[in-house]
A and B are shown apart, each in its own frame.
Chain A
Amino acid sequence: MKLVTAIIKPSQLEAVKEALKAAGVAGMTISEVQGFGRQGGHTEVYRGAEYQVDFVPKVKLEAVVGATDADRVLDVIVDAARTGKIGDGKVWITDLGGIVRIRTGERDDDAL
């Protein structure tokens, strides 16, 4: 079992979600997050004073998948999230020690 985590542009969320559903991913969780990478932040102006806003709004998407599906899912996300401009985000895969589906008590691969 693997956790695929993606930080993407909010504008790409719809495309990534549809691509993952088409690829058979059964569920996902998203959250609104803020951060910066190579893109850096941006400048805002209030009453003429410029403020550097370091953290840029992004969407974090998490999906738990079977070990053999992880690389394929990662590729699907990368393809759907890419605009080619700076700030497209990152995707990474994490090994999981265990999963439980709360309603039934099923464990690990059965809980996916």
Chain B
Amino acid sequence: MDSGNTAWLLISTALVLFMVPGLALFYGGMVRSKNVLNMLLMNMVCLGIVPILWVLFAYSLALAGDGNGGLIGTLDAAGLKDLDSQGLLEMAFLMTFASITPALISGAVADRLKFSAWMVFVPLWLVLVYCPVAFWIYGADGWLGERGSLDFAGGTVIHINAGVAALAVALVLGRRKGWPDEPMLPHNLPLVTIGAGILWFGWFGFNAGSALAADGVAVEALVNTFVAASAAMMAWLFAERIKDGHFTTLGAGSGVVAGLVAITPAAGYVSGLSSLVFGAAAGVLCFLAVGLKYRWRYDDSLDVVGVHMVGGIVGGTLLGLFADQALVGDDYGLALGGGSSLFGEQLLSMAVVLVYSFAVTYAIAKVIDGIMGLRAGDDIETTGLDSTQHAETAYQTF
């Protein structure tokens, strides 16, 4: 790789890493003040657990080699074996993606998960769910990628995957004590807003870095990422103004993230003004989707399902409609005259990941629950996780 490409990928790695504390603030502001440290730590600890497993063997399982029928990687690159500097850099770049993906799930289990259960869940989920799903789409002979499914920066592999996993864990875990009758309001919306801003900033590395070069595709991806987030924020704000009467900071932050999620699978594959469609659709549909938890009574506490799963599905579907021939080749978007092949593959890959991730995550959660228990317990839930799980308090009176 030339020095320009190397420099951009080094910077992008740092940008995506910065999304983890950004996500921690985004979620941390949304929980009640007695649980904010627990939420921050659930996110930050992913930057501890995942990189260790990644360099030991998870990177190799997720992305190296071929010959296992396209289902999982080999152990050829376990322990960073035989990686040159370019291989090491790509490994590090993808390590940040692997770190933030389980962190996304933490928003659905807020306020009630035992911290030790999270420490067991993250490594199991990484190996049993993230690694195979990543290989299916990005691996050398990954079966979904081979069939023609596209996912530029991880709409399916990361957002749909984490979003549906969040639903599975939330269902096994059960609702928070008192939800939804008692108000459980965000304790610090300024933190949420800062977090959303950091995510937006880092997402330029996430999407434009996924071009793996400092080239025209990276520029296209950056512009699409920028515009989709703007469109989604405005769409969410106006949708809630019309339906509920107010423009809210929580809505603006959620809209930004919804737009970023939706453009992720398509960032380097669509052009022109398509990104406006991705953003507008994600803003409205994710806004409507976050209300479903009240109707169906699942406690997806911080709307991981409504934003990441639904936003990922919106983006993956629209990619099948709007993929640009100049960027993806002959099987391009259905709406642009490219036939139904890509559209069908998009639906198939999303359905496969939805089913696999939900089923395996549900099983992981059930096993952990059976062996050590998932819930912190009623008393702890009332007192708060910060003081009981971590012996710390975020905001001291004196």
The residues of A with any CB-CB pair to B shorter than 8 Å are 44-49, 51
Q: Is B370 an interface residue (CB 8 A)?
A: no
Residues in chain B within 8 A of chain A (CB atoms): 183, 185-186, 240, 243-246, 248, 250, 290-291, 294, 303
Q: In this complex, which of B183, B240, B246 has the most chain A Cβ atoms within 10 angstroms of its Cβ? A: B183
The secondary-structure label for the interface of chain A is strand
B243→A47 contact, CB < 8 A: no
Q: Inside 8 A of B245's CB, which chain A residues have their CB? A: 45
Instruction: Knowing A51-B183, A51-B185 are in contact, say whether A46-B250 is a contact too (CB < 8 A).
Output: yes
A47 near B250: Cβ-Cβ < 8 Å = yes
User: Beyond the given A45-B248, A46-B248, A47-B291, could you list 13 further A-B residue pairs with CB under 8 A, ordered by the A residue number?
Assistant: A44-B185, A45-B244, A46-B183, A46-B185, A46-B186, A47-B250, A47-B290, A48-B240, A48-B244, A48-B291, A49-B294, A51-B183, A51-B185
Q: Closest approach, in angstroms, between the C-beta of A32 and any C-beta of chain B?
A: 12
Q: How far, in whole Å, are A101 and B248 apart by their CA atoms in the complex?
A: 50
Docked Cα-Cα span, A51 to B185, in Å, equals 9
Q: Which of B244, B250, B303 has the most CB of A within 10 A?
A: B244
Please indicate the chain B residues that have their CB under 8 angstroms from the CB of A51 in the complex: 183, 185
Asked whether A48 lies within 8 Å of B186 as measured between CB atoms, the reply is no
Query: What CA separation (Å) do A72 and B244 show in the bound complex?
Result: 49
In the complex, residue of chain B having the shortest beta-carbon distance to the beta carbon of A48 = B244
The 9 A-B residue pairs whose C-beta atoms are closest, nearest first, are A48-B244, A51-B183, A45-B246, A46-B185, A45-B244, A47-B290, A48-B291, A46-B250, A48-B243
Q: Which residues of A contact B294 (CB under 8 A)?
A: 49
Q: How far is the CA of A55 from the CA of B244 in the complex (A)?
A: 23
Q: How far is the CA of A47 from the CA of B295 in the complex (A)?
A: 13
CB distance from B186 to the nearest CB of A (A): 7
